[in-house]
Copies of this chain bind each other. A is one copy, B any other.
Amino acid sequence: MSTESTTFITPDALLAHWQGHRRLTRRVIDAFPDDKLFAFSVGGMRPFGALAMEMVTMAVPMVRGAISGDWTTSTSRETRPKEEVLRLWDGSTKELDSLWPQIPPQRFRETLTAFGQYPGILHDLILYVIDNEVHHRGQGYVYLRALGIEPPPFYER
């Protein structure tokens, strides 16, 4: 089959799509008052700071693991100042840009076991990380509204 008949999206375009989501998620983190980021939630759920730190522990470690087979993730999800969350976020963003081209292209269709316990085709595992970010960010939108804060527009990336 030709490339055209088997490609929904290229690796480069998928990274650009993901980084667009990451810019929006960064704005959502930044929209929280520092004293609410790890302290406020709705319905007994986790606060947005904990969700953002979960995203940090998934994004780079997933891509690094796919390249190297090293599935360690050392960043804790503990409470910390917003500025530190944003600093870690920006570090991950740069690291993703430099790691992504190192993924061997055929690997996206290979089955791996992420973090030693989640088997899946790499494209599904990566989409899971992105979807998890979008899912939890949507929850952050509700938290912001409940705090009386207007969230950033969903369509701006």
Q: Which residues of A contact B (CB under 8 A)?
A: 1-11, 13-14, 17, 21, 42-45, 105-106, 108-109, 121, 123-124, 127-128, 131-132, 134-139, 141-147, 154-155
- Closest-by-CB residue of B relative to A14 is B8
Please name the residue on chain B nearest to A145 by beta carbon.
B43
Copies of this chain assembled into the complex: 2
A3: which B residues are within 8 A, CB to CB? 1-3, 6-7
Is there an interface contact between B121 and A5, defined as CB atoms closer than 8 Å? no
**How far is B4's CA from A105's CA once the two chains are assembled, in angstroms?**
6
Contacts of A9 in B (CB 8 A): 8-9, 14, 108, 123, 127
- Complex-state Cα separation, A134 to B42, whole angstroms: 18
Residue pair A8, B8 in contact (C-beta under 8 Å):
yes
